Structure 1
């Protein structure tokens, strides 16, 4: 009987072999009361799909050549492959934070308020990645709890006190730097000490998330609340590891490609100069912990030199020739450079993957689509 079964399997297509194996695993579930999550994990580990098989699943999602009779078969196959490959589908934990500073002037963009950030934060409704949020605002906490009510298993929202962060513990020292006679006023970077603290605090909270490792992902990333504020699509989306990422580095988005690293640190802070953007920071979990230590060392050093601004100026100064001599950074940056300067959202956009809904070509579905 076993020999006959083996001969039969040899004659089957790959898709039918997959279905047979799934059936066997289902029997195990019923007979051994095994946990479904464990089954999926074991199945993913033991069964190796070819690239062609996964590509077929993608094809089934978007094909317009399906016959009505075949819809059910194709949907079943698509769900099967999706379940098998989804155990660690979103291997990036997204971390964000909002500390309520009220209304403040922001460069030439006018004023930012609590409502500004509440509106921007609504985009997280569509994020499929595991999400960790830190905030001192009850309003923001309530918003995130509401918009993530369908993804509570992959969401953690922490209501914290500002002073629990090492960044806010430096507020009085930063205030003294900004109060120096003649220190340039760049709103809000060198005017509101607490704003500079919020920008530095991203490295605190992303490291907390890395240490806690609640979602067991290999990667962690910081994402500004307003990073995708210009996004108008309402499709779900995920953020994936960027192509070409070096596991030993921290990935960031270049803002000015021809930045001079010979620039004196004093000029970087006082002239509000930017090399890379701080809206998105991506790294391996272990690397970001080491990078946080390195960045804290840089912050302490520049404060001792009576210089400070936001994290963007700290990073530029850290990797400048002068900063390298003083701090000797051991964790380097992986630079993602857009085709033109001042593209602040380039890295996030190339990491973004749309989760397009499956639309079949059946008669019933065509009728439903025509209603909209």
Structure 2
């Protein structure tokens, strides 16, 4: 991966001044009490991660005053998936992108890359477009590009949770952990194949996210209008049993926020869900990772890749020890 100057800390980053503030959630449910948990616990699961990603064609996306992203931008970024030695599930509505993605990963076994061509109108998230447009067209609604300007972009952020739900319900995952990862998560020039492993301290009854800013008590309207971010939505990891609950709670939150005539992207919805000043009470707690590096948004991916290197070194040392013992 691209070399990044970060300090790795395999525990929740705990500070005073708001970083360790408790947020809104119910106590986690023991896995054995959850509906459908037997089907996951009975499988011969590896402790690997299956990643879900997607690209749906929205045309050009304007981000701030100087950045414009197009399909070609994502074609460039997705090339880095050629180096990711994990099972990847891709959803897209562009056949050309699907073909190119498959070619980029053609050196891996076929079962490690599954691609599904789907139309946008097949998903709950894109069905919200007209309602979100109506909210954004209010004369006093703040304009944050593209979050509160381009309704289809907001829908594309919500569809992550559609796809996580689809993968789980269609039993497409056999690994212990499942993760969402944006198609453009790797933006440097990756060099050499690497795999992504769960963080050493991952909590099985939590969902792992990167925490971007310290938690501040705000109402849903304040969060949406200020475009505030508490958790990064580019990568999150959990067990399927708990991710399905997160998805259900997320969809309820989106419907509730639309009823309140406010909306933004998934990152603001997550903030609203876990805000102590909201009416929502998610059933799954979050495990927050934080780094002071300027590459904070990619910190969880860095932990996963560096944990892979840690485990590889550990196995190598064990093999060396066994080999040396044979000749003693």
1:131 aligned partner: 88
Note the C-alpha offset of 1:273: 0.7
Cα distance, 1:340 vs. partner?
4.9
Equivalent pair of 2:80/2:190 in contact (CA under 8 Å): no
TM-score between both structures, scaled by the size of structure 2 = 0.77
Report if the CA contact (8 A) 1:94-1:131 is conserved: yes
> Aligned equivalents of 2:263 and 2:137: distance in 1?
11
Aligned to 1:47: none
Q: Is 1:334 the counterpart of 2:287 in the alignment?
A: yes
Structure 1 segment 1-372 matched on structure 2, within 5 A:
91-151=48-108, 152-230=110-188, 232-256=189-213, 258-260=214-216, 262-323=217-278, 326-340=279-293, 343-352=296-305, 353-354=308-309
* Structure 1 residue ranges without an equivalent (≥5): 1-86, 359-372
Contact 1:154 1:215 in 2 (8 A): no
Deviation string for 1:221-277 (max 9, x for gaps)?
A: 0001111112x3321111111121111111100111x230x2121111011111111
Q: How far off is 1:211 after superposition?
A: 2.3
More displaced 10-residue stretch of structure 1: 207-216 or 237-246: 207-216
Query: Counterparts of 2:66 and 2:241 in 1: how far apart (Å)?
Result: 36
By how many angstroms is 1:88 displaced? 6.4
Query: How many pairs are equivalent?
Result: 266
SS state at 2:152 partner: helix
Shift of 1:214: 2.8
1: CA distance, partners of 2:165 / 2:142: 31
> Which structure is larger by alpha-carbon Rg, 1 or 2?
1
**Partner Cα distance (1:277, 1:211) in 2:** 25
Residue 255 of structure 1 contacts residue 341 of structure 1 at CA under 8 Å; is this kept in 2? no
Comparing both chains, which one has the higher relative contact order based on Cα–Cα distances under 8 Å and sequence gaps of 6 or more?
Answer: 2
Taking the aligned partners of 1:108 and 1:242, their CA distance within structure 2 comes to 36
Other structure's SS at 1:145 match: helix
Q: In structure 1, what is the Cα distance between the partners aligned to 2:258 and 2:293?
A: 33
Q: CA separation in 1, counterparts of 2:267 and 2:184?
A: 16
Residue 157 of structure 1 aligns to a residue whose secondary structure is strand
| TM-score in terms of structure 1 length | 0.68
- More helix by percentage: 1
Q: Tell me how far apart the structure 1 counterparts of residues 190 and 117 of structure 2 sit (CA, whole Å).
A: 29
Distance 2:223 2:267 in 1: 10
Two-structure CA RMSD over aligned residues (Å): 1.9
Deviations 1:286-334 (A, max 9, x none): 11111100000100111000010000000001111122xx122211111
Query: How far apart, in 1, do the equivalents of 2:99 and 2:304 lie?
Result: 28
Gaps of 5+ in 2: 1-43, 317-328
Tell me the distance in 1 between the aligned counterparts of 2:86 and 2:251.
28
